[in-house]
Structure formats: C-alpha cells, structure tokens
Amino acid sequence: MTSTLHLQADFRFQDLTDRNNLSFKPQEQFLRSALSAFKPPQIVVSGNSDNHVEVLDKDIMFQIIGLTDLTRSGVSYIESLTELIDANEGFYDRQKKSGNGKQNNKLIRSANVGDDDEGHEASYDAVVEVGKRLYRFTLQDSLGNLCYAYEIEPLHFLRLNSDLYPIKLGSKLMIKKGTTILFKSCFQLTAKSCQFFGGEIKKLNYNLYQRELEKWKKELNYTG
C-alpha cells in the first residue's frame, strides 16, 4: 500500500495532462517550469533558405505515449507481438495448472521466435543489434498536444534491454531548449538534448501487446 501511494505521489507515474495534481519531490520543484505547451514554431518558406528547421525555445516535459522501432517492419511487429501474447497466455495457463495458489503478475516482454543449435534466441535481435535500432517517439505535453521525435544518435535509456518496448509508455522525457525541430513538430533527439525520467502510466500499458497487434493489423490490412 505504501509503495502504491509513493508512486501516485510522483509525477513520473502520473498523467501530465492532470496538471493541477502533479506531485514533485522538493528537489524537483524546478521541473514545474517545464510543464509548458509545445507550440509549433511559425515557419515561413522564403527563397532558398532552410526555413523548415527551428530550435526549441525552452525546456518542455513530455510523456511518451508511443514508441516505434523504424528498423523493424510492420509484419515483424505483428509476428513478435503474436509470439509475446502466446507466450504470456501459456505462462498464465501453466501457472493455473500448477495449483500453487500464488499469483504471479510477471509479464514476458521478449519473444523467442526460434532457437539456434546452441539454444540461444534466434530472434530479430540477432539480425538487428540493439544499438543499431532507430526509434520514433509519439509525445504528449501537459496540455495534451502531440508531436513526434526521432533519435539521431542511440539513446542509452532505450538500450538497457532487448524488449520489444524497452521502456514503459507514459515515461517522462524532458526535451531541452535548443533542440532541433523539423517541419514544425518533429524533434531530433541526442543524448544531450533530452533527459529521461522514467515512470509509466498504467492504462497505457494495459493490454499493450493486444492493442498494438490490432493497430498494426489494421494499418497493414493484415489478414494472415
């Protein structure tokens, strides 16, 4: 109970759009100034100048509501999500049959889509190394405005594991003043241009694999 209350009293685990009820630790009160709305810069195309490039004029806190690995195909996502759903359903079925009376809320987050001769995972990770992935973020500010961001160099917090979704949705990310903005609403992220605070929003992660699977199938008109 104490742990749950502690999480509820930390902005990392709260919805940023609930601005008036966000909780910050005493040493983090300065972060309230980053609860600003992201307003796309006014871009006027003239002559041959590159007016599609602007920079952020202040620090802004966002929550990550979507994450996509652009080196992975939609079909690959569908296959991996199907594997994860099946693996988790099998785990829960075995748990019920064991009859030990204990409930384990563990979630299998990495799919094994085949073994090599030595028993190692022969998965997508064997083809594309974790460090060579390229992620796109869907971000939301504290007023509900949406925008995108792309990493232009590997961000460490996305490479601490090989999970299909290496961070929890709802994690907080502050994008710093001076960050490059392309075409009004697309950030280019480097390790120096952002600060990751972690956290999550539970409703965004509830049945995530099932929801993402349906999204990809609909997007690709997939009937397999």
Which pLDDT score is estimated for 102?
A: 56
Nearest Cα to Cα of residue 79 among 43, 127, 31, 129: 127
Give the C-alpha distances (Å, rounded to integers) separating 164 from 122, 151, 158.
15, 17, 10
Whole-model pTM: value is 0.81
- Mean pLDDT by runs of 10 across the 224 residues of the chain is 60 97 96 93 56 88 98 96 88 57 56 45 52 92 97 96 96 97 93 98 97 97 86
Using CB atoms within 10 Å of the CB of residue 195, give its burial: 0 to 12 exposed, 13 to 18 middle, 19+ buried.
middle
The pLDDT assigned to 131 comes to 64
The angle subtended at Cα 43 by Cα 40 and Cα 44, nearest 5°, is 160
Q: What confidence score (pLDDT) does residue 49 get?
A: 54
pLDDT, residue 90, reads 64
At 182 the three-state DSSP class reads strand
The DSSP annotation for 75-129 comes to HHHHHHHHHHHHHHHHHHHHHHHHT----------S----B-TTS-B-SHHHHS-
CA dist., res. 25 & res. 197, Å (int):
13
What is residue 167's three-state secondary structure? Answer: coil
Question: CB of 12 within 8 A of CB of 6?
Answer: no
The residues pairing with 53 across neighbouring beta strands, listed in sequence order, are 182
Residue 115 confidence (pLDDT): 42
Q: Which domains does the chain have, with CATH numbers?
A: 2-73+132-220 (2.40.50.770)
- 66's CB contacts (< 8 A; 6+ apart) are 137, 138, 169
Q: What is the pLDDT of residue 103?
A: 54
